[in-house]
Amino acid sequence: MSAQPQPNGPAGSRSDTTAHLDPHVVVVFGATGDLARRKLFPGLFHLWQAGLMPEKFQIICSSRATLDSPEAFPVMVLEAVRAFRGEIESEMWRDFAARIRFVAAPDDDYGDLAQAVRAALKELGSDAKSLFYLAIPPSATESVVRVIGTFGLNEGAKLVLEKPFGRDLQSARQLNATLHEVFDERQIYRIDHFLGKEAVQNILALRFANGLFEPVWNHQHVCYVQIDVPEQLDIQGRSEFMESTGTFRDMISTHLFQLLGFVAMEPPVRLDADSLHHEVVKVFRAIRPLDRDRVVFGQYEGYCDEAGVDACSVVETFVAMEVHVDDWRWVGVPFYLRTGKALAASRRTVTLGFREPPLKMFPGDVDTTCNELVLELTDDPKIFVDVRAKVPGPELALGRGRMRIDLQEAFPGSWPLEAYERLLLDVMRGDATLFTSTEEVELIWALCDPLLKDPPMPQRYPRASWGPADALKLPGERGWRLPD
Ligand code: BG6
């Protein structure tokens, strides 16, 4: 194999980030699918381009489909990388492509694949690790996990799984039992790609690297929290997925609860996987049983006319809800969660509203809006604090002002990784901090099961709106921060 690209991304050299990465055989199941094409191949290539892949690695791609010419598979990978990452240098591509091969597993016959993985491990040396990425439908997960075990490929390997991790507590427990028959918990990496986003990790940085925020990050100073993830896109042809999953299982019991865990957790003793999971688990344990009367399900007008959707479908494409974390820090503070498809804007906004000062001492001050700390968790992250300030002039009149940090402006030349890239790198580093543990998954299902067994009927909402009227009223007089 030819020379490795030099790191051109994060500050420092390879030795900072990847010097100790063991050689890896990355095995992608579902390699002809959408996730592999949109995220995994472009992500792996980008890591390689940035010098963030291990010095020695191979990528073995597999699917049930047999290809007319498997040797042409790297060309399909190249097209995917170009489509999602733009043009690439041909010399660099040749070096990367030389490490990719396709091995079909027709009719669930994984013999050739197992042989290819063993051969690759042997070639890369005794410290080589395999990383199995299951980019496959949930119905296939358990059988593929068993196959890995049957061929004895689980030893020392890492397993990466995509959501959903079951669809209720019982199925999650069954899935976890199967996983644990073959893998130890420490070998399992459940991806929630929201946790790989730079901006989400910024919640940790803001809270625990500053003396300013953490002292007021509690019920004595905060009167509400909103975690708002509206999406403009509708289901974009994913009718089968939406009909079987719904927005609650797709977004709330996964991404939004994980965000809530990061916002609400106590300071961990260390920033490592065990300490963070310990704190997130405590938050999930403290969540009060969900109150069906404080949950609004919605469905956008025209959803039932989408191809592949049942004409009488009652699947929700929108959820807004109130959640309480009954612990010492958050008692009495409502957390409002909202997400949905075909809404007026696409945002990922976390807002903390602060209590008003105890005394209104400025004449004529009738403004009852709270100071708000707003975290925009976009790929171009920003943090705002909305405050009241004196309007310049002869009178002591108040107006609303804004303190703002634009992270890209603050750190020009910084080099963010896309969420999947960051998480793939973490798996290779063996760092499970940003992944979801078995305990978290089961606690969330235990919390959500009663609601999902008896969900509210979805209320219709117009496309490009902010959801059903009842959802708009949920946070009371102050309403939602968005639209702002
Ligand atoms: C996925 C959901 O996990 O996250 C999608 O299945 C959703 O329905 C997507 O649109 C949102 O992710 P992002 O990174 O585009 O905000």
Cα of 339 from ligand 1 centre, angstroms: 11
Give the 3-state secondary structure of residue 231: coil
d(CA 209, CA 12): 22
d(CA 249, CA 144): 23
Tell me which long-range contacts 151-156 makes (C-beta under 8 A, separation of at least 24): 151/110, 151/114, 153/114, 153/117, 153/118, 154/182, 154/183, 154/187, 156/129, 156/130
In a mutational test of the pocket of ligand 1, which residue from 251, 257, 378 has the highest number of ligand atoms less than 8 Å from its CB? 251
Residue 357 neighbours by CB distance under 10 Å: 11
d(CA 132, CA 144): 10
Cα of 193 from ligand 1 centre, angstroms: 8
Assess whether the previous peptide bond of 137 is cis (omega < 30° from 0).
no
Q: What is the per-residue pLDDT across 351-400, written as a single tens digit (0 to 9) for each?
A: 999 999 999 888 888 888 889 999 999 878 899 999 999 999 999 999 99
Atom of ligand 1 nearest to the CA of 238: 8
Token output for 470: 């009842």
- What would the DSSP string read from start to end of 108-123? G--HHHHHHHHHHHHH
On whether the CB atoms of residues 335 and 227 are closer than 8 A, the answer is yes
Q: What share of the chain is helix, strand, coil (3-state, %, to 5)?
A: 40, 20, 40
Q: Is the CB of 250 under 6 A from ligand 1?
A: yes
CA distances from 303 to 237, 274, 316, 369 (A): 11, 42, 10, 36
d(CA 194, CA 436): 11
pLDDT at 194: 94
Longest CA span, the chain: 83
Q: Is the CB of 234 under 6 A from ligand 1?
A: no
Pick the closest to residue 219 from 269, 268, 286 (CA basis): 286
Residues 6 or more apart in contact with residue 444 via CB below 8 angstroms: 253, 257, 284
Q: Is the CB of 231 under 6 A from ligand 1?
A: yes
d(CA 243, CA 316): 9
Active-site hit among 24, 193, 255, 324: 255
pLDDT at 13: 40
Give the 3-state secondary structure of residue 51: coil
On whether the CB atoms of residues 442 and 169 are closer than 8 A, the answer is yes
Atom of ligand 1 nearest to the CA of 194: 14
In a mutational test of the pocket of ligand 1, which residue from 39, 250, 339 has the highest number of ligand atoms less than 8 Å from its CB? 250
Q: Is the CB of 198 under 6 A from ligand 1?
A: no
Among protein residues, the one with the nearest Cα to ligand 1's atom 4 is: 251
Cα of 341 from ligand 1 centre, angstroms: 10
Tell me the residue ranges of DSSP E strands in 391-445: 398-406
Active site residue 255: yes
Encode the chain (484 residues) as per-residue pLDDT tens digits: 344 554 444 433 444 565 689 999 999 999 999 999 999 999 999 999 999 999 999 999 999 888 888 888 999 999 999 999 888 888 889 999 999 999 999 888 999 999 999 999 999 999 999 999 999 999 999 999 999 999 999 999 999 999 999 999 999 999 999 999 999 999 999 999 999 998 889 999 999 999 999 999 999 999 999 999 999 999 999 999 999 999 999 999 999 999 999 999 999 999 999 999 999 999 999 999 999 999 999 999 999 999 999 999 999 999 999 999 999 999 999 999 999 999 999 999 999 999 999 998 888 888 888 899 999 998 788 999 999 999 999 999 999 999 999 888 888 888 889 999 999 999 999 999 999 999 999 999 999 999 999 999 999 999 999 999 999 999 999 899 999 8
Residue 75, judged by CB atoms within 10 A of its CB (0-12, 13-18, 19+), counts as exposed
d(CA 156, CA 147): 16
pLDDT at 344: 98
Q: Is the CB of 162 under 6 A from ligand 1?
A: no
Atom of ligand 1 nearest to the CA of 231: 10
In a mutational test of the pocket of ligand 1, which residue from 34, 255, 300, 379 has the highest number of ligand atoms less than 8 Å from its CB? 255
Residue 348, judged by CB atoms within 10 A of its CB (0-12, 13-18, 19+), counts as buried
Q: What is the per-residue pLDDT across 150-209, written as a single tens digit (0 to 9) for each?
A: 999 999 999 999 999 999 999 999 999 999 999 999 999 999 999 999 888 999 999 999
Residues 6 or more apart in contact with residue 274 via CB below 8 angstroms: none
Cα of 45 from ligand 1 centre, angstroms: 22
Among protein residues, the one with the nearest Cα to ligand 1's atom 6 is: 250
